Amino acid sequence: MSGGRRLGRKLLGSTATVLFVLALNFFLFRVLPGDPARAGLADPRLSAESVAKIRERFGLDLPVVNGIESLRPLRFGSLWTDPRETQAARYLSNLLRGELGISYHTNRPVAELLGERLWNTLLLLAAGQLLALAAGVALGAWAAARSGSRGDRLAVLGGLTAWSLPSFWLAMILLFLGSQFFGLPLGGRATPALDGGPLLRALDLARHLVLPTITLAIVSFGEYLLVTRSALVDVLSSDFVLVARAKGLSSGEVVRRHALPAAALPIVTLAGLNLGLVVAGAVQVEMVFSWPGLGAAMLDAVARRDYPVLQGVFLLLAVSVVLANLAVELLYPHLDPRTRRS
């Protein structure tokens, strides 16, 4: 299959996935029981008239859908005033304009609210995943080169143990140990009322990142170790590796220059999939360490039935996972030429 046809097929599949996510994202939260105007918006002491005005302000008084006629109010860049306007029409119209709606609870644009939280989550995930990937691949390669030895068995046992640890439990253990014995911050992103220049603020941010980063790295480390070891054990028994050894290359050179590139496919695939899977653990870690990221925003929105924030978070995460998997699939032909025929 040519590169252009392959790219077109992958883009078409990713677009279809995103469209499905858009539809699911809208209806998923509206089938839940309860009224967000009473659950998260209005004080119990407010009158029925006040609650009605709140519902009108956020479009909660509109029907969810109204048959095929609900599509008529849509126009790029604007929304017609139409008595048949629905929540679905408003949702799609906002998306076409690049808007995610208004938060029911904070009365702020969801895009602005999530933009503040997104960078915090990206910083935490990037630090944790890079540390886990580096340590897992290095130890996995070390164990594969010593397959069957005591060190290999200990490495596999350590990887399985790390993989099985609940992230919230490990976070609480590290929170106690780090604060008690190393004086690390208990939570948050920065020390309140900290006076100092950019360097001092950067060092303070790094101190707050230490414990949540280590937590995420440990729970992801085991996967990378086990996948790397398993892939390399198969590759190290291949003919081209035996030829490399016969040329007099050391074990380290054989693994680094020949075996690791050949075993890169499963490692890269795991890294792409982890972008979505790690978010579940990141939610728990963010709550334990009071880290102001997307996970904390999502849990707060669930408690308050803040549909626009929930839709924004889920859409952002879903699109990120789709794009990450698309990037991984497009990397396959460069990592292994044999995949170009698929």
> Does position 24 have pLDDT exceeding 50, yes or no?
yes
> Does position 38 have pLDDT exceeding 70, yes or no?
no
pLDDT for 135 equals: 92
Ranges 66-80, 207-221, 245-259, 268-282: which has the least confidence: 66-80
Residue 273 class from Cβ within 10 Å (0-12 exposed, 13-18 middle, 19+ buried)?
middle
Confidence of residue 173 (pLDDT cuts 50, 70, 90): very high
pLDDT for 251 equals: 74
Contacts of 230 (CB under 8 A, 6+ apart): 266
> Does position 237 have pLDDT exceeding 60, yes or no?
yes
- 144/315 Cα distance (integer angstroms): 39
What's the chain's average pLDDT? Answer: 77
Identify whether the C-beta of residue 129 lies closer than 8 Å to the C-beta of residue 218.
no
Per residue in 134-148, pLDDT (tens digit) is 999 999 988 888 888
Mean pLDDT of 288-305: 82
* 3-class state of residue 326 by DSSP: helix
Q: Which residue type sits at 237?
A: S
Handedness of CA 156, 157, 162, 165 (dihedral sign): positive
328 membership: H or E segment, kind and range: helix 307-335
Residue 300 class from Cβ within 10 Å (0-12 exposed, 13-18 middle, 19+ buried)?
middle
* Domains of the chain, first to last: 3-96 (no CATH), 110-341 (1.10.3720.10)
Identify whether the C-beta of residue 83 lies closer than 8 Å to the C-beta of residue 74.
no
- 246/238 Cα distance (integer angstroms): 13
| Half-sphere exposure at residue 208, Cβ-oriented, CA atoms within 13 angstroms | 21
- List the Cα angle 173/174/176 in 5-degree steps: 70
Give the global pTM: 0.75
pLDDT for 69 equals: 42
Identify whether the C-beta of residue 83 lies closer than 8 Å to the C-beta of residue 21.
no
170 membership: H or E segment, kind and range: helix 167-181
> Does position 3 have pLDDT exceeding 70, yes or no?
no
**Alpha helical stretches, state H, 189-293:** 198-235, 239-246, 251-254, 260-262, 264-288
- 278/263 Cα distance (integer angstroms): 22
- List the Cα angle 137/142/144 in 5-degree steps: 90
Which of 325 and 152 is assigned the larger pLDDT? Answer: 152
Per residue in 63-96, pLDDT (tens digit) is 776 644 444 444 434 434 444 477 777 777 777 7
Which of 155 and 283 is assigned the larger pLDDT? Answer: 155
Per residue in 101-127, pLDDT (tens digit) is 778 777 788 888 888 888 888 888 888
Residue 81 class from Cβ within 10 Å (0-12 exposed, 13-18 middle, 19+ buried)?
exposed
Which of 336 and 10 is assigned the larger pLDDT? Answer: 10
Confidence of residue 340 (pLDDT cuts 50, 70, 90): low
> Does position 276 have pLDDT exceeding 80, yes or no?
no
- 145/161 Cα distance (integer angstroms): 21
Which of 330 and 150 is assigned the larger pLDDT? Answer: 150
Ranges 8-12, 77-81, 105-109, 243-247: which has the least confidence: 77-81
Q: Which residue type sits at 97?
A: R
Cα dist. 271→80, 128, 162, 173 in Å? 44, 12, 17, 26
